[in-house]
Structure 1
Amino acid sequence: MTASQGSGVPPAGGVGEEARAELLCYLVVAELVARARTGEWLRTDHLVESGRIWCKANGAHLDWQERIPLGQMAPGLAPQVMETFGLVMERSLVPLFIDGWMLDYASPVVCGIHEVCAARLSRRYAVLPVQNPS
């Protein structure tokens, strides 16, 4: 279940803010899982593949150019999230998931990580100039 399911928020099927926040949240958690399992952060190719997996599983249509900034943000956010939420051990990450690799947005921790990601995205996109359609 994604944050948009059951929350009155439109599903992540495009490139809206919610879809980007959900993908960033997923990538951050993927970084944490890699760190807990191997002691290392995700390699770039695994981060890219994680983004593809999330998009396919959620029916989201974010092309690679839209996923790149999110993939660049995830490694920077992961240590902050790890410290803030105490997600160091693999067993602390298991409750974040339902149905395999789907994040459980009923979990307060997942919701907290999502809030961190959404806040980071709002800061990133707040500085972009608005373009007039002409």
Structure 2
Amino acid sequence: MQLLHYNLDNEARTELLGYLVAVQLIARARTGQWLETAHVCESVLLWLSANGGNCSARERSDLSRLSVDVAERFLELPPFDDEARLFQMILALTRLDYRNTDAKKILAVCGECITHRYGSGQS
């Protein structure tokens, strides 16, 4: 059995967290609730698989919890409660549209959180 090494740098963590925040906001706009734990875990694994990422269960859990904390910062802002507009941020199942203004805002906040949590280093 070959063990995979953990390969998320801060840029990848920011992208994963941004994706999770977007899907959390979509769930909240659609149902009034955050994603259930099982759905967040599934979203993390989908993103990691689609992007060739690998990280520990602890880091997956940490980023999943952080996604709600970050998403809460956007709740009071009008574009982030509109389900149709939120869907425009997602290009594919696991990809944000990095040219989208709203996605850029989310990624900027996520980048700050990741830098604060993991430092300015890349691992």
How high is the TM-score relative to the length of structure 1?
Answer: 0.77
Unaligned runs of 5+ in 1: 1-12, 127-134
Query: Where does residue 18 of structure 2 map in the other structure?
Result: 25
State the superposition RMSD in angstroms.
1.7
- Is the CA contact 1:23–1:54 (under 8 Å) kept in the aligned structure 2? yes
- Is the CA contact 1:24–1:70 (under 8 Å) kept in the aligned structure 2? yes
CA offsets 1:71-114 (integer angstroms, 9 cap, x no match): 11111111212334631021121210113442101112111111
Select the structure with the greater relative contact order (CA < 8 A; seq sep ≥ 6): 2
Query: Where does residue 94 of structure 1 map in the other structure?
Result: 87
CA offsets 1:6-32 (integer angstroms, 9 cap, x no match): xxxxxxx92100111111111111101
Structure of greater Rg: 1
Q: In percent, how many aligned pairs have the same letter?
A: 36
Moved more, 36-45 or 91-100: 91-100
Query: Where does residue 121 of structure 1 map in the other structure?
Result: 114
Query: Where does residue 33 of structure 2 map in the other structure?
Result: 40
Count of residue pairs brought into register by the alignment: 114
TM superposition outliers: structure 1 runs of 4+ over 6 Å: none
Q: In the aligned structure 2, how far is the partner of 1:20 from the partner of 1:94?
A: 21
